[in-house]
A = this chain, B = another copy of it.
Amino acid sequence: MASYDETTENRTIIRIDRDGRKEENDLIVKEHALTITLSDGEFVKDRRFVTMFCSPSDIEQLGIGFLLSEDIISSIDDIDDMSISDDSSEIKFLLSSSANLAENLMSKRDITSGCSRNINPYEFLKDLKLDELSSNIIVSAESIIQLSNEFQSMSTLYKSTGGTHASALCDDKGILIFKEDIGRHNAIDKIFGECLLKGINLDDKMILSSGRISSEILLKVAKRRIPIIISRSAPTSMALKFADQAGITVVGFARGVRMNVYSYGYRIG
């Protein structure tokens, strides 16, 4: 079996700078096509659910996290079996009857989720019941600064290629899980998948992300009842509207010793 856990490849490029033009070896971030196939052992057989582009690491966590974010599963018990093809291009899930796969796929026919593309936020929100999160978690600005620095130093794939996003699950003591991927959504789904596999609660933790906080990212985090999201980048207006409704603390531009707190600032002590 070929090793598909490498997330970079080498390429000879031409580097142009003040000193001129020279051929050099460079590290390129790998982009990998992963197809998720679903069966329920009864009505649905090997149905291609999605083909996504990702970094070829944590395939299992990504698959599980994606199914969770897309409401195909709600717990690890919804998965009876799982297998990854030798070349890591396909992950097959056999879901248990508790997942109601056939019914679920029927009801979803018209809604697919993408990055700023294929989702109707209002249909989505109807089902979400964004009742305000009332988590009592408080975290100091100092802890966030420390987490943000730790996060930066762990982003090795980004440092070597400049082509990835990172996401981390944290508590106020440190980073618990750290994932990188070419996609903002994938990096977070990998975290969710690992938490489901390991039985880690999400609703008393924080999510750190290198990427912008769009409405889709906010909703993804809100659905997992995570009370605080911290980003090195900016939130959008719609993300903040949903954060207001959902009771989520949004911290943006967390870089060095500075940060902006956009909502529910009482949780940042």
A contact residues vs B (CB 8 Å cutoff): 8-9, 11, 13-18, 21, 26, 28-33, 35, 48, 50-54, 110, 112-122, 141, 161-163, 182-183, 185-186, 212, 214-216, 233-240, 253, 257-262, 265, 268
Asked if B182 and A236 sit within 8 Å, CB to CB, the answer is yes
Asked if B262 and A13 sit within 8 Å, CB to CB, the answer is yes
Would you call the interface of chain A mostly helix, strand, loop, or mixed?
mixed
Contact of A13 among B8, B17, B261 (CB under 8 A): B261
When C-beta atoms are compared, the residue in chain B nearest to A259 turns out to be: B16
4 shortest interchain CB distances as A-B pairs: A114-B114, A115-B115, A163-B234, A31-B236
When C-beta atoms are compared, the residue in chain B nearest to A66 turns out to be: B117
Asked if B118 and A112 sit within 8 Å, CB to CB, the answer is yes
From A9, A17, A31, A185, name the one whose CB has the most chain B CB atoms within 10 angstroms: A31
Asked if B11 and A51 sit within 8 Å, CB to CB, the answer is no
Contact of A14 among B18, B54, B113, B261 (CB under 8 A): B261
Asked if B51 and A121 sit within 8 Å, CB to CB, the answer is yes
